[in-house]
Amino acid sequence: MANKKTVDLVEEKAALMRRDVIEMGYAAGGRGAHFGPALSSIEIVAGLFFGIMNHDPKNPTMADRDRFVQSKGHACLAYYAALTETGYITREQMYTFKGDNSFLAGHPTRNMKYGIEVTSGSLGNGFAVACGMAKAAKIKSDDHKVYCLVGDGECNEGIIWEAAMNAAKYELDNLIAIVDRNGVQLAGTTKDIMDVDIEALWRAAGWDVVVVEGGNDASSVLEALQGMRDSSSGKPHVIIANTTKGKGISFMEGSLGWHARPMPQEFYEQAVAELENA
């Protein structure tokens, strides 16, 4: 059972991060933003940064820090919101998202000064890099964890399964992947595009699998993360978290139309009002 104080903190930070996502996406203007996948993953990212990972915004390159890799890079608004609320970046920097000469691009670009570990690249690439980071830590006998956020649509990528099998072969139990299963990807629902049993696929690849039905419930997410962090199964770990696309904003929830787009002022005002009254 997750500690109530920690759960309360994660819930508080998740609420702030949702507002940050809306503010950044609106500030991007006509460049648009991936609202839906960022909002679905808020509790996962908040749970990692405020309840699970060993990290220090004042010392972002400390040797024994846990590593976070955002493989579903298009959901970077959740990542940047966490970096803002932890103090890696300032609020003024946050508002430069997608702006000219900003280091906060539409997909994460490595910048250790600000807590960005890995350039995400094409879907699936970040996960493969995370597997390599975990393997390197094993070789060097380093005592830290590697956490990687993966999308359910991203699990269509072949590189995911090549890397997953390699991680199982080398018993990378210092690696924890979290699949944000919100059921909607770029061109439709995951069921319509590629109706596969990803739980069975991860098990077949040799991973320790846990399914979290309440992927937007801080307590459930923290409990799963703690269990995987403390596991001695000898296998790499994956949490499949069932989430809601666009969680927290009524007109975005479950909507393909809000996967990625600019936000007009009237929608911005409605989103802010809903979050203020939540």
User: Amino acid identity, residue 107?
Assistant: H
- pLDDT classification of 240: cutoffs 50, 70, 90: very high
DSSP class of residue 178 equals E
The single residue listed with the structure tokens 């009254």 is 277
Cross-strand bridge partners of residue 200: none
Residue 139 pLDDT exceeds 90: yes
Q: Across all residues in the chain, what is the average pLDDT?
A: 96
Using one digit for the tens of pLDDT, what is the confidence trace for 167-200? 999 999 999 999 999 999 988 899 999 999 999 9
- pLDDT classification of 2: cutoffs 50, 70, 90: confident
Domain range annotation of the chain: 4-276
For residue 116, which of 125, 128, 132, 104 has the smallest C-alpha distance?
104
CA dihedral 122, 124, 130, 134 (to 10 degrees): -150
Q: Which helix (H) or strand (E) holds 16?
A: helix 4-27
pLDDT reported for residue 271: 98
Please state, in angstroms and as integers, the Cα–Cα distance from residue 7 to each residue in 17, 51, 89, 98, following that order: 15, 8, 24, 32
Give the whole-angstrom CA distance, residue 138 versus residue 49: 23
For residue 113, which of 121, 103, 101 has the smallest C-alpha distance?
103
Residue 1 pLDDT exceeds 80: no
Higher pLDDT, 134 or 186: 134
Residue 61 pLDDT exceeds 80: yes
Averaged pLDDT, 26-31? 96
pLDDT reported for residue 233: 86
Q: Tokens in use for 86?
A: 């932890």
Fold of 4-276: Rossmann fold (3.40.50)
pLDDT reported for residue 159: 97
DSSP class of residue 67 equals E
